Amino acid sequence: MNILVIGAGPAGLIFASQMKQAQPAWNISIAEKNTQEEVLGWGVVLPGRPPRHPANPLSYLAQPELLHPQFLEEFKLVHHDQPNLMSTGVTLCGVERQVLVQALRAKCVAAGITISYETPLASVAQLEAGYDLVVVSNGINHTSLELPPALAAQVDFGRNKYIWYGTTQLFDQMNLVFRENKHGLFIGHAYKYSDTMSTFIVECSEETYAKAELGFDAERDAAYIAKAFAPELGQHTLVSQPGQGWRNFMTLSHDLASDGKFVLIGDALQSGHFSIGHGTTMAVVVAQLLVKTLSAEADTAAALASFNARAVPLVQLFKEHANASRLWFETAGERAALSNADLTASFDARRNHLPPLQDALMASLGYALGR
Ligand SMILES: Cc1cc2nc3c(=O)[nH]c(=O)nc-3n(C[C@H](O)[C@H](O)[C@H](O)COP(=O)(O)OP(=O)(O)OC[C@H]3O[C@@H](n4cnc5c(N)ncnc54)[C@H](O)[C@@H]3O)c2cc1C
């Protein structure tokens, strides 16, 4: 079996390394668009303490402690300048995206998987002729690759503006901070992901963004936002990555996960709003499902049919959870007058009308790891 994985992010890397472990004789290579050093984003939060939680990609590394993961047990919601401290329920694991991706790449290379960087785009015909299976894990960059029409993405943009900053201020809890000024409401999501850095994601409505005249000068924006969150940041500044300015969150969805020799995993299949922090977890679970179905079925077509049947309902539930959460944040201004306790209750209840995502994830993982 000759497999090409397109995109060396968490989804493609977990798939490649786990597939190679399950089928050592298969030839697996990875094509990455960027340079080896270029990994976008600051830190992310993952479930559980590695190696105990199989949805945490650190659990697949021999020495996860070398990545300096930060364990978070408390959630802090700040509104009207008052903190409300709660348990996160499960231990959360903050980690730097760059070191995570590089460690997963090193694991693939050690297993005999070739990763080519700055790979030029190939056509559908070239890919079909060259490989038995093409695993598309190129994230939300759906226009960077030609795919069969059946795998065309549905694209939906969120109404809020957001920006992903890093900061040297260390947030020991998962922080959700609501701060208002004369231009409107700003919401900060902050947690530490290394011994020296925290993620600081800020979102606001389009109206507030326009009133605050954001988006013209990156330095001014960082100073403006740092001032809005001065009680949290103190003298610490906010740092943005080149090319990672203000965006509207992009949700990429599909009704089908595979067609012919092509199969989608990770964000390329379904992306979900950062406020539920499950994108990487989903990438791991869906990659494991694909490894399982390819190992369990005698022919690739049957394996992909089985993968479709299992992965699509799971990612659709993820989409519903992510969209419900995104919508809650997009309408947060309507709840600005609530007390801290009432806002916390509303935040907690925002996904209660949906079947639990955790149960579905654990059921899928249980099936996938029973190989
Ligand atoms: C602000 C923000 C905060 C987030 N926080 C969290 C969090 O706390 N926890 C969590 O679990 N998730 C979080 N996520 C989501 C998480 O980052 C993604 O779900 C996860 O990275 C998906 O992994 P992936 O491998 O599918 O895609 P990616 O990580 O995007 O990797 C895709 C790879 O494909 C490459 N590529 C693109 N196009 C091509 C091409 N044509 N050819 C070859 N290579 C290509 C890219 O360069 C990249 O290396 C967050 C996302 C955002 C935006």
Atom of ligand 1 nearest to the CA of 278: 11
DSSP string spanning 183-243? Answer: TEEEEEEEEE-SSS-EEEEEEE-HHHHHHTT-SS-HHHHHHHHHHHTHHHHTT--EE--TT
DSSP one-letter code for 120: P
Do 187 and 204 contact (CB within 8 A), yes or no? yes
**Which pair of tokens denotes residue 261?**
């020799």
CA torsion through residues 211, 213, 214, 215, sign: positive
How distant, in Å, are the alpha carbons of 6, 33, 105, 206, 302 from that of 120? 11, 7, 19, 36, 31
Atom of ligand 1 nearest to the CA of 279: 19
Do 234 and 193 contact (CB within 8 A), yes or no? no
pLDDT for position 371: 57
Calculate how far, in angstroms, residue 236's C-alpha sits from the geometric centre of ligand 1.
27
- pTM for this prediction: 0.97
Atom of ligand 1 nearest to the CA of 121: 41
pLDDT tens for residues 109-131?
Answer: 999 999 999 988 888 999 999 99
pLDDT for position 120: 86
- Return the percent helix, strand and coil in the chain, to nearest 5: 40, 25, 35
- Nearest-CA residue for ligand 1 atom 20 is 280
Do 241 and 291 contact (CB within 8 A), yes or no? no
Calculate how far, in angstroms, residue 341's C-alpha sits from the geometric centre of ligand 1.
34
3-state class (DSSP) for residue 255: coil
How distant, in Å, are the alpha carbons of 107, 201, 270 from that of 249? 31, 12, 13
- Nearest-CA residue for ligand 1 atom 29 is 9
Atom of ligand 1 nearest to the CA of 137: 26
* pLDDT tens by residue, the chain, 371 residues: 999 999 999 999 999 999 999 999 999 999 999 999 999 999 999 999 999 899 999 999 999 999 999 999 999 999 999 999 999 989 999 999 999 999 999 999 999 999 999 988 888 999 999 999 999 999 999 888 889 999 999 999 999 999 999 999 999 999 999 999 999 999 999 999 999 999 999 999 999 999 999 999 999 999 999 999 999 999 999 999 988 899 999 999 999 999 999 999 999 999 999 999 999 999 999 999 999 999 999 899 999 999 999 999 999 999 999 999 999 999 999 999 999 999 999 999 999 999 999 999 999 999 999 85
- Nearest-CA residue for ligand 1 atom 12 is 279
3-state class (DSSP) for residue 81: coil
**Which pair of tokens denotes residue 13?**
């890397």
Question: C-alpha angle with apex 32: 19 to 304, nearest 5 degrees?
Answer: 40
- Nearest-CA residue for ligand 1 atom 52 is 274
User: Cβ atoms within 10 A of the Cβ of 363, count?
Assistant: 13
Query: CB within 6 Å of ligand 1 — which residues?
Result: 6-12, 31-34, 41, 44-46, 119, 121, 137-139, 141, 144-145, 164, 201, 266-268, 274, 277-281, 283
Calculate how far, in angstroms, residue 64's C-alpha sits from the geometric centre of ligand 1.
20
Atom of ligand 1 nearest to the CA of 7: 34
pLDDT for position 121: 81
pLDDT tens for residues 232-286?
Answer: 999 999 999 988 899 999 999 999 999 999 999 999 999 999 999 999 999 999 9
Do 169 and 194 contact (CB within 8 A), yes or no? no
Calculate how far, in angstroms, residue 267's C-alpha sits from the geometric centre of ligand 1.
6
Calculate how far, in angstroms, residue 184's C-alpha sits from the geometric centre of ligand 1.
30
Burial of 334 (0-12, 13-18, 19+ CB in 10 A): exposed
Calculate how far, in angstroms, residue 321's C-alpha sits from the geometric centre of ligand 1.
18
Calculate how far, in angstroms, residue 196's C-alpha sits from the geometric centre of ligand 1.
23
